[in-house]
Amino acid sequence: MPAVIEFHDSTAMSCEDCDGDVILRLAPAILHRSAGKPGFDAGDAFSISVEVKLHRGVISVPFVELPVDLTDGCLTVGK
């Protein structure tokens, strides 16, 4: 079943630049699974710990303090 990580309602434990990649650790993160479109359609939600690696990522606005509960934000993928 398709799944997505929902950054809202997750807790960012760390966010660091590691050899040109950005490593974001969420504990917990909200994982939403759905037979339809995950993140939009009805389905199941789970709390899990994840490490998100953003290849050649850039931190444009660093976190002021960690850990922090995420309620909103922006992640831009691509140019």
Domain boundaries along the sequence of the chain: 3-60
pTM assigned to the model: 0.81
- 12-67 pLDDT per residue, tens: 999 999 999 999 999 999 889 999 988 889 999 989 999 999 999 988 889 999 99
Residue 72 near residue 40 (C-beta atoms within 8 A): no
User: Does residue 77 surpass a pLDDT of 80?
Assistant: no
Whether the ω angle into residue 67 lies within 30 degrees of 0, i.e. cis, is: yes
